[in-house]
Chains A and B, each alone.
Chain A
Amino acid sequence: MAERAGGTLPTARVRAEATEAKVVVRGLSVRYTSSRGTLTALEDISLSVQAGEFCCVVGPSGCGKSTLLRVLAGLIPCAEGEVRIRSDGPQRPLTAMVFQDYALLPWRTVLDNVAFGPENRGVPRAERYRLAREILAKVGLSGFEHAYPHQLSGGMKQRVGIARALANDPEVLLMDEPLAALDAQTRNLMQEELLRIWAEFGKTVVYVTHAIDEAVLLGDRVVVMTARPGRVKAVVPVDLERPRTLEQKGSAHFARLYNEVWQLLREEVSAASREAGGG
């Protein structure tokens, strides 16, 4: 069953009945054509994500990490290659995205923000509010149902963003640098929160980040991308014990993994900054 993404653009992003993995990306390329020529954002990406896996994607700025996520989200058409997302419930949305800048609807209360996805699918008010309250409780936001986003701190806003995604009960949770706008201490707290929430909900997650420590702490695997045009350079399995805690960041094992990812990333980052510097 093919699903059309973004309203009108035909894509090769499909809802699959049976695949070997939850998410299968095969030969995906994304190019932008303008009067100044063709820009290749992503080139020949192939990637599988298992059901229930936490898959982190790191790469230099401008490598197309966000583009990859937006193709998975159906916001950018997948013109070359294919994306298959296995559906385990015919009514469930394929993806729900958590955005870097929270992207809450500022005129809606916390409750109505969280209930937004079910509301779009026609879930009755009482039912979607019950669901939203339940999830708000699980992300630690009980009592803030009727607050407006501008009354919340950054960390709380992102909890709302995460609750909104969970309330939509997607097949795959997509996270686009969700902690990048937070201060370092709040980021640490939220990393623990994410570990706890992920363990509780058992979602398949594709998580884009700049922060290597975050990727290693959270991920089952870290996908390292090259500088533009973005390709998959390497996939580093993270065999840290679960359940994970912040304390593991101090371990020698963590440091080894961190270094492995950094060595892979290093030349890509300098390549990306050379390109940015040279125009």
Chain B
Amino acid sequence: MTGAAARQTLRAVRVDARSLAAAGILVAGWEFLPRRGLLNPAYFPPASQVVAALAEGLSAGELLPHVAATVSRLLVAFFLAALPGLGVGVAMGLSGTVRRVADPYVALLYPIPKVALLPLMLILFGVGERAFVLTGALTAFFQIVVNTMDGIRQVDPTLVEVGRNYGATRFRLFWKVVLPAALPGILTGLRLGLGLTLVTVVAVEFAIAKSGLGHVVWGSWQTLTTPRMYAAFVAVGLLGLLLTRGLKRLQDRLLAWQTSVDVW
């Protein structure tokens, strides 16, 4: 990769050069400590070995199917959750009646780590993709519901008065006033939902799936192939970075009208 292309990639994922420098220090330590025998290289292989394992796994195509498995589970789970999550969140945000009926259930289920529901999903759907994906989808669903509802409830009531006084129909009041005003909260819910779904999907793969990056981590641990294990960690991390940064970019573009402040 040329220097210019590298800079462009960095800008695309919004990584500050100083942030990269910090990573460099970390990686240097990671290389140095095992090599000098200060850390047991069987458990903590030097960074170069992890990078080599990652490069080999990707170029030999051994890791790629696992990356693909994780990504496809993640995306299917996310989109499966997004539509109903937005729908329920909007309904709960707009209607006090819907909120009073549904809120106890949401409040009850939201804090449960959805991985804990994996056994239930396995009983309901058998061991297979459906159970894995639905467990991930539940994670995203509740996050999206909660943030969408809050986003709509926090809309400035004066803006709703503006809509009414300026002749907006109920339809236009929703699409032209309430929804744009609630968009920051809604997009935050989608971003958090995506990140948490990755966590859940990897955990599910860890526990039971026979493919995916989580499976690679667990399999490598059992055979003490630690470079491969760390390579899978790194791959999960990069995946999370790319996905949430991508959504953040979309959010910034859609919400160019917002002002934000760096306090420090």
Residues of chain A lying within 8 A (CB to CB) of residue B170: 7
In the complex, A95→B259 CA distance in Å? 32
Contact A74 B165, beta carbon cutoff 8 Å: yes
Nearest Cβ in chain B — how far from A40, in angstroms? Answer: 22
Cβ 8 A contact of A7, one of B156, B164, B176: B164
Residues of chain B lying within 8 A (CB to CB) of residue A95: 165
With A7-B170, A75-B165, A121-B167 as contacts: A99 and B158 at CB distance below 8 Å = yes
Residues of chain B lying within 8 A (CB to CB) of residue A73: 161, 165
Nearest Cβ in chain B — how far from A206, in angstroms? Answer: 13
Contact-size category for B: 20 to 34
Contact A164 B166, beta carbon cutoff 8 Å: yes
In the complex, A103→B164 CA distance in Å? 13
In the complex, A106→B177 CA distance in Å? 10
A96 within 8 A of B: yes
A32 within 8 A of B: no
A168 within 8 A of B: yes
Chain A: interface residue total (CB-CB under 8 A): 27
Bitwise, B224-264 to A at CB < 8 A (1) or not (0) is 00000000000000000000000000000001111100000
Q: Which of A156-206 contact B (CB under 8 A)?
A: 164, 168
Q: How many A-B residue pairs have CB under 8 A?
A: 62
Q: Which residue of chain B lies nearest to A7 when distances are taken between CB atoms in the complex?
A: B170
With A105-B180, A148-B257, A150-B259 as contacts: A117 and B158 at CB distance below 8 Å = no
Nearest Cβ in chain A — how far from B158, in angstroms? Answer: 4
With A105-B177, A150-B257, A150-B259 as contacts: A120 and B162 at CB distance below 8 Å = no
With A101-B158, A106-B258, A148-B257 as contacts: A96 and B166 at CB distance below 8 Å = yes
Contact B164 A74, beta carbon cutoff 8 Å: yes
Nearest Cβ in chain B — how far from A112, in angstroms? Answer: 10
Contact B161 A97, beta carbon cutoff 8 Å: yes
Q: Which of A124-179 contact B (CB under 8 A)?
A: 148-150, 164, 168
Residues of chain B lying within 8 A (CB to CB) of residue A106: 257-258
Nearest Cβ in chain B — how far from A277, in angstroms? Answer: 27
Q: Which residue of chain A lies nearest to B159 when distances are taken between CB atoms in the complex?
A: A103
In the complex, A120→B172 CA distance in Å? 8
Nearest Cβ in chain A — how far from B223, in angstroms? Answer: 54
List 3 tightest A-B contacts by C-beta distance, closest first.
A120-B167, A117-B166, A103-B158
User: Can you pick out 19 interface pairs between chain A and chain B where the beta carbons lie within 8 Å of each other?
Assistant: A7-B164, A73-B161, A74-B164, A93-B167, A99-B158, A99-B161, A101-B158, A103-B158, A105-B177, A106-B257, A107-B181, A117-B166, A117-B167, A120-B167, A120-B168, A120-B176, A148-B256, A150-B259, A168-B166
